[in-house]
Amino acid sequence: MTTTYECRIADAFGTPLAIVSNFVSDPRGGGAALGYTLSVGKVGALRLTMPATFDDSLFKLDGRVGVWRSINGRPPKLDGETIFLIRKWEYTTYTTTITAYSANHLRGRRIVDYFAGSSYSSKTTPTAAGNLIKTFVSENMLAGIVGADRQGVETQADISAYLTNQANLGDGATQAMQCAWRNLEDVIQELSDGSTQAGTYLVADIVAPTESTLQLRTYATVRGEDHRASSGQPVILSEEAGSLANCLLVVDRSEEVTFAIAGGSGEKGQRLTRTSLDAARMAESPFNRIEQFGDYSNVSDTTALQNLADAMVRAGRPRIEFSADVVETGSATRGIHYDLGDMVTAAARGQQYDARLDVIEVAVGGGGQFSRSKIRSLT
């Protein structure tokens, strides 16, 4: 199995500047070292270390870095459809190291910059969560911005020349949301979690259809493909098959929540509240009623408040995480048989776990590579 990597570096506008493909153990003597994390619906990170002889002026603010991966001589593909944006520089006598964050980082740079109760911050008609996410992105990052109804100047607020919205798909469970002045990333995560809690898995990612374009997309049910044992194209990863090593199964209930109250607008006895609970988990132990309160004083819509209470209970589920070192084999190769965002089946200690492959960590250097994936249970 031969896998090769190259980093393609561009400026913030997508203009190509350099390609790095010589990866070594110690960049001080020439060559590069690379490490990066791909994360579905979250912000991944990349670190690239170059020798001091490299022209570091090519590492520009929000410069784009894409990792292209080729397997057994196949045409290279942009790993995870992910572009990273440079935000940090470290200089030593011998090396320059940059840290870049996946394009999902753009969402966390914005707030819902509209007054409470406005049609831009208060979406009280239950709507498919995927459509709502795209509406909030449009109205706070793209051409849907209405400057007359926002606070402050609108310098560079509209980045639709560089980022587009996928067309509405009507995906995800119906949701409502009130979120004036809140961080846009938090709003996206709550809509995704609320849909998943209601029974339809949903995630939003900013992907790169090409090296110089970005698009926000939503994915219901699965980010990639279904390769579970029950599917027609199963991929079962296990130590016995040689596709996994150093397996670790963690079941963590230390931060569990089984009952949540979302507090909305109003004061004292007149405050609007909605509650949510998971009776099945609560009944597993006489002590497993674990409560949490969420303060959402700017929310006056009951549907939106109920969604927030449901999201808190979902976020407080037991953390069941199966992680392992991925050993690529002829019958189980990432990028051919499975990839980021796919559903797979992992086997460990005589049990099988249907899981999402939602985090991949890669390190490249010295003519070799290390790949570690975190596979999270569907439940």
Domain boundaries, the chain: 3-102, 110-220, 226-251+320-377, 256-316
Q: Give the residue-averaged pLDDT of 167-178.
A: 95
Please state, rounded to an integer, the average pLDDT across all residues of the chain: 92
Q: Give the residue-averaged pLDDT of 265-291.
A: 96
Q: Which CATH class is domain 3-102?
A: mainly beta
Of the candidate ranges 30-34, 157-161, 186-190, 260-264, the one whose mean pLDDT is the lowest: 30-34
Of the candidate ranges 204-208, 241-245, 308-312, the one whose mean pLDDT is the lowest: 241-245
**153-166 tens-digit pLDDT:** 999 999 999 999 99
Confirm whether pTM is higher than 0.75. yes
In single-letter form, the type of residue at position 348 comes to: A
Residue 369 pLDDT: 67
Residue 211 pLDDT: 85
Residue 374 has pLDDT above 80, yes or no: no
Do residues 290 and 256 touch, judged by C-beta distance below 8 A? Answer: yes
Of the candidate ranges 40-54, 255-269, 314-328, the one whose mean pLDDT is the lowest: 314-328
Residues 6+ apart with CB under 8 A from 299: 178, 179, 262, 264, 265, 272, 305, 308
Of the candidate ranges 150-154, 214-218, 241-245, 284-288, the one whose mean pLDDT is the lowest: 241-245
Return the C-alpha torsion angle 23, 25, 27, 29, nearest 10: -110
Hey, which residues does 75 pair with through a beta bridge?
none
**98-127 tens-digit pLDDT:** 999 999 999 999 999 999 999 999 999 999
Q: Rounded to a whole number, what is the largest CA-CA distance in the chain?
A: 69
Percent of the chain past pLDDT 90, that is, above it, reads 72
Residue 67 pLDDT: 97
Residues 6+ apart with CB under 8 A from 321: 249, 250, 252, 374, 375, 376, 377
Residue 34 has pLDDT above 90, yes or no: yes
Distance in angstroms (rounded) separating the CA atoms of residues 197 and 317: 10
